[in-house]
Structure 1
């Protein structure tokens, strides 16, 4: 189960900074997918270990659709389509400004 109480599914996106229920478009190369923030993550240590902070986790299925591999660390583009009204895990930290479109 995810932080939202829903089971993990294709559309599941995790973010430590975006409210649960946020809808986001994720683009890698010429492929895009729409996800919904249903979970929290990655952890602060995981966010900070990348050259560009890792501010979003995708379901394994969405990752495979976009990149061809179920598990990977890649640079993606994102566009928040609508903000959710659910809980937020963290209101500050590594990558926060990037997640909020200020970085």
Structure 2
């Protein structure tokens, strides 16, 4: 009887210890002092005694999640132009973007990729992540211009600056040649996955 009682006590202590380690690991990984202060004294002692275990476990999880979210499904290079279509009619504005979301920073146009595809673009050491929210460029895509970037992204990639206005990049440069693209997630909208294709093909 005494042995059984001892086993029950040990089981309870072990369960409390494991729960304490789990909570301590979350607090240690988050770096939140408030969360640490809310731990019971025994849990604080465990977190202080073995922070390496908690940090190592959470670090591995964060690294795996980061790799999964940044892994490219498709990479390549192209020439990119810029646009800003918000229904104003300025500079050949054709109206609201085809993807159903309003014109905004980080909204790109592709002649073929599925709408809402998530893509990272890089040029001269600068990168931005955006999504395909419109169709374009039209005829230029038949000459290898396979991405239309919003004006702000275009100017940032060009020289790290802001455009003169949302309709004008404020530079004589109208194209970025050798722009690197990385498809991070295919969108659920209409379009074709894979290498970009000219408009209408």
Q: TM-score, normalised by structure 1?
A: 0.78
Shift in CA distance, 61/97, structure 1 to aligned 2, threshold 3 Å? same
Residues 1:22 and 2:117 are matched in the alignment: yes
1:41 positional shift: 0.5
Cα root mean square deviation, aligned: 2.1
Give the match's secondary structure for 1:64: helix
Alignment length (residue pairs): 90
Note if contact 2:111-2:141 (Cα within 8 Å) is conserved in structure 1.
no
Q: Note the alpha carbon deviations across 1:21-73, whole angstroms, 9 max, x for none.
A: 10000000100000100000011x21123xxx111100001101111362621
Q: Which runs of 5+ in 1 are unaligned?
A: none
Matched with 1:99 is 196
**Following the alignment from structure 2 to structure 1, what is the Cα–Cα distance between the partners of residues 100 and 109?**
13
Residues 1:84 and 2:187 are matched in the alignment: yes
Higher helix share: 2
Runs of 4+ in 1 over 2 A off after TM superposition: 96-100
Matched with 1:47 is 141
**Following the alignment from structure 1 to structure 2, what is the Cα–Cα distance between the partners of residues 22 and 14?**
10
1:97 positional shift: 6.9
**Following the alignment from structure 1 to structure 2, what is the Cα–Cα distance between the partners of residues 18 and 31?**
23
1:6 positional shift: 1.2
